[in-house]
Amino acid sequence: MKHKKKNFPTLKNDWLYSENQVFLKNIYQRFLRNPKKIDSIWYKIFKNIDNKKDLITYDNKDIGNSIINKKKKNDQNLKKNIFNNNTISIRERFLNLIRSFRKLGHYSAHLDPLNLAIKKNIMELSLDYYNFSKNELKELVNKDLFPYKIHLKSYYDIYILLKKTYCSSIGFEFMHLNKINEKIWLQKYIEKKIFSLYGIRKNKKNIIKGLIQSETFESFIHTKFPGTKRFSLEGCDVLIPMLKEIIQYGILNKTKKIFFGMAHRGRLNVMFNIFKCNIPQMYQNYFSNNDQSHYTGDVKYHLGAKITIKKNFHKIDIVLLDNPSHLEIITPIVLGQCKSFLDSTKTESDLSNNIIPIIIHGDAAFTGQGVIQETLNMSQVPGYCVFGSIHIIINNQIGFTTSKKKYLQSSTYCTDIAKMIDSPIFHVNADQPESVIFIIKLALKFRFLFKKDVFIDLVCYRRLGHNEADDPSITQPLLYKTIKNHKKVCDIYLNKINKFNNKYTKKTQKYYELYKIYLHHNLKNNINKKQIVNLYNNKIKKNQIIIDKIKNFSFSNLIKKMLHILTPPKNFLLHYQVKKIFDNRLKMIEGNSLWDWGSAEILSYAALIIKGITCRLSGEDVRRGTFSHRHAAVYCQNTGKTYIPLKNIFSTQNNFHIWDSVLSEEATLAFEYGYSISKNFSLNIWEAQFGDFVNGGQVIIDQFIVSGQQKWGHNSSIVLMLPHGYEGQGPEHSSARIERFLQLCAQKNMRVCIPTTPAQLYHLIQKQGTTILIKKPLIIFTPKSLLRNSKTFSTLKELSHGTFQKVLIQKKNISCNTIKKIIFCSGKIYYDLLKYYQKNNLSNILIMRLEQLYPFPTKSIKKVIHQFCFIENCIWCQEEPKNQGAWVFFYFNFKKYISNFFKNVQLQYIGRPKWASTAEGNLSSHKIEQHNIIKKACTPC
H helices of 105-175, where?
A: 134-138, 155-166
* Mode of pairing for the β-strands spanning 257-262 and 314-320: parallel
CA distance 762 to 769: 11
pLDDT of residue 178: 95
pLDDT of residue 723: 97
pLDDT at residue 836 tops 70:
yes
Residues 6+ apart with CB under 8 A from 283: 221, 224, 225, 228, 300
pLDDT of residue 602: 97
pLDDT of residue 469: 79
117-158, pLDDT tens digit by residue? 888 889 999 998 888 888 888 887 766 677 666 776 788 888
Residue 281: which H helix or E strand, with range?
Answer: helix 279-283
CA distance 32 to 154: 54
Average pLDDT rounded to a whole number, residues 63-76: 52
Q: Helix or strand or coil: residue 823?
A: strand
> Between 249 and 287, whose confidence is greater?
249
pLDDT of residue 509: 86
Percent of the chain scored above 90 by pLDDT? 60
User: Which of 105-114, 398-407, 438-447, 867-876 has the least mean pLDDT?
Assistant: 398-407
pLDDT of residue 810: 87
Rg (CA), the chain: 34
677-707, pLDDT tens digit by residue? 876 788 999 999 999 999 999 999 999 999 9
pLDDT of residue 941: 60
pLDDT of residue 908: 95
Cβ count near 488 (within 10 Å): 18
Q: How many angstroms separate the first and last alpha carbons of the chain?
A: 80
Percent of the chain scored above 70 by pLDDT? 87
pLDDT at residue 647 tops 90:
yes
pLDDT at residue 3 tops 50:
no
CA distance 505 to 438: 24
721-732, pLDDT tens digit by residue? 999 999 999 999
Band of pLDDT at residue 350, cut at 50, 70 and 90: low
pLDDT of residue 332: 97
Q: Are 899 and 865 in contact (CB under 8 A)?
A: no
pLDDT of residue 81: 45
pLDDT at residue 879 tops 50:
yes
Assign 3-class secondary structure to 493-550: HHHHHHCCCCCHHHHHHHHHHHHHHHHHHHHHCCCCHHHHHHHCCCCCCCCHHHHHHH
pLDDT of residue 818: 86
CA distance 144 to 148: 8
pLDDT at residue 50 tops 70:
no
Average pLDDT rounded to a whole number, residues 15-25: 58
Burial category of 88 from C-beta neighbours within 10 Å (exposed 0-12, middle 13-18, buried 19 and up) = middle
Q: How many CA atoms lie within 13 A of 180 on its CB side?
A: 1
> Between 73 and 520, whose confidence is greater?
520
Band of pLDDT at residue 437, cut at 50, 70 and 90: very high
pLDDT at residue 847 tops 90:
yes
291-344, pLDDT tens digit by residue? 455 678 888 888 899 999 998 888 999 999 999 988 899 999 999 999 999 988
pLDDT of residue 15: 52
CA distance 809 to 11: 76
pLDDT of residue 869: 81
490-536, pLDDT tens digit by residue? 999 988 888 776 777 778 888 888 988 988 888 877 544 333 334 44
* Mode of pairing for the β-strands spanning 454-459 and 425-429: parallel
pLDDT of residue 134: 87
pLDDT of residue 82: 58
pLDDT of residue 439: 96
pLDDT of residue 797: 94
pLDDT of residue 899: 87
pLDDT of residue 646: 95
Burial category of 417 from C-beta neighbours within 10 Å (exposed 0-12, middle 13-18, buried 19 and up) = middle
375-409, pLDDT tens digit by residue? 999 999 999 999 999 999 999 988 777 667 777 88
> Between 58 and 595, whose confidence is greater?
595
pLDDT at residue 163 tops 50:
yes
Tell me the backbone φ, ψ of residue 459, rounded to 5 degrees: -80, 115
CA distance 271 to 304: 8
CA distance 495 to 475: 32
pLDDT of residue 133: 86
Q: Helix or strand or coil: residue 642?
A: strand
pLDDT of residue 744: 97
Assign 3-class secondary structure to 423-463: CCEEEEECCCHHHHHHHHHHHHHHHHHHCCCEEEEEECCCC
Q: Helix or strand or coil: residue 643?
A: strand
pLDDT of residue 528: 44
Residue 824: which H helix or E strand, with range?
Answer: strand 821-825
pLDDT at residue 10 tops 50:
no
pLDDT at residue 851 tops 90:
yes
CA distance 397 to 362: 9
Residue 807: which H helix or E strand, with range?
Answer: strand 807-809
Residues 6+ apart with CB under 8 A from 13: none
Q: How far is CA 258 from the centre of its chain?
A: 17
pLDDT of residue 892: 96
Mean pLDDT, the chain, as a whole number? Answer: 86
CA distances (Å), origin 322, targets 270, 278, 704: 13, 16, 10
CA distance 706 to 742: 11
Band of pLDDT at residue 485, cut at 50, 70 and 90: very high
CA distance 272 to 116: 32
pLDDT of residue 293: 52
Q: Helix or strand or coil: residue 154?
A: strand
pLDDT of residue 414: 93
pLDDT of residue 556: 92
